[in-house]
Amino acid sequence: MLTADGMQAGRYLELRRRMAGSDIDEQAATLRQFGQDVRREDLAMIQRAGLGHIGSDFSVTDILVTLYGAVLAIDPRQPLAADRDRLILSKGHSAGALYVVLAECGFFPKSELATFAGPMSALNGHPNRTKVPGVETNTGPLGHGFPVAVGAALAAKLRGSRSRTFVVLGDGELQEGSNWEAAMTASHYGLANLTAVVDRNGLQQGARTEETKRLEPLADKWVSFGWDVREVDGHDHAALLTSFRPATTGRPVCVIAHTTKGKGVSFMQDRVEWHHKVPSDQQAAAAVEELTR
């Protein structure tokens, strides 16, 4: 089991204090920079490892940095604190983005990122809670994180805890039926402390979601399952911040975050082949150039 990097965790908590005292535009500017830093680090990690899901990582990056940078009530030095907020990455193949964000928060030393996917590394291709602090449940097979998030939110409600639970879902992942079982349960139990974030980039591994198995009208589906739906640009940090505000209706909240797969690198954006392609050295250099602007 990895352990916290106290210095880095201290810097992260200082960032959170600064963010709390900033207006939303300042927060968004900081989060945008955080996102670009995460993408560059993730790119380097995937290059070293020779594998990863770079398109999915870049799609979800702004969602993750917004949650970790300004929303989640967490302390990386106490990753199992009873009343922490929970973030469950149901689309576990975006582990790369999650690992970089967790390391930036100080859950474990950033030097560990160099081991990603290597022999005996704690940083498996999909996240493992028994090895990586900050990971709440082991995901990878799709359709697993959402029911677990429902259980965590229900436990908080039963315990009278103010803890909030967020679950980040891929859009293609919503083709798994277990998600809709969980959506019904959350609504039935009135889990207003639960927010499901759909990374709606429109692409799944092999093709567009709408060509593979249609999801639309997606917002209507969530509404009919008893959820409050908020639709936002998933790369607009200010809009994401607003969308992550607590529920006001007693119902669970679904944020449909409209995103672009491979966001931030022109030749990767919205291209299905970048789901898990590894950039060449030349492509990586060009990508870093774009991510540094």
Partner 1 sequence: MTGAILDQTRYDCRQAFAAELIDLARADERIVAVCNDSVGSSNLVAFRQEFPDRLINVGIAEQDLVGVGAGLANGGLIPVVSAAAPFLTGRALEQIKADVAYSNVHVVLCGQSPGMAYGELGPTHHSIEDLSWMRAIAGLPVIVPADPAETRAALRWAIGHDGPSYLRIGRFAVPAVNPAGGTFEPGRSVQLTDGDDLAVVAAGTMVSRALSAAAQLRDVGIALRVINMASIEPLDTEAVLRAARETRGVITAEEATVTGGLGAAVAALLAQNHPAPMRILGVPHAFAPTGDTAFLLEHFGLTAEGIVTAARELIGDGLR
Nearer to partner 1, 84 or 235 (CB): 84
**Candidate residues 141, 206, 217, 246; the one interacting with partner 1 per rule CB under 8 A:** 141
**Candidate residues 1, 7, 29, 82; the one interacting with partner 1 per rule CB under 8 A:** 82
Q: Is residue 4 a contact partner of residue 79, using CB atoms and an 8 Å limit?
A: yes
Q: Mask of contacts with partner 1, 175-204, x by CB under 8 A?
A: --xx--xx-xx--xx---------------
How many other C-beta atoms can be found within 10 angstroms of the C-beta atom of residue 131? Answer: 15
**Candidate residues 154, 169, 240, 254; the one interacting with partner 1 per rule CB under 8 A:** 154
Distance CA 204, CA 56 (A): 9
Q: Does 36 bind partner 1 (CB under 8 A)?
A: no
**Candidate residues 30, 36, 59, 163; the one interacting with partner 1 per rule CB under 8 A:** 163
- Sheet architecture: strand order including 165-170: 86-89, 165-170, 194-200, 253-258, 228-233
Q: Does 152 bind partner 1 (CB under 8 A)?
A: yes
Q: Does 138 bind partner 1 (CB under 8 A)?
A: yes
DSSP labels, 8-61: HHHHHHHHHHHHHTS-HHHHHHHHHHHHHHHHHHHHHHHHHHT---HHHHHHHH
Strand (E) or helix (H) holding 127: none
- The minimum distance between CB 218 and partner 1, in angstroms, equals 20
Binding residues for partner 1, per CB under 8 A?
82, 86, 128-130, 136-141, 143-144, 146-156, 158-159, 161, 163, 177-178, 181-182, 184-185, 188-189
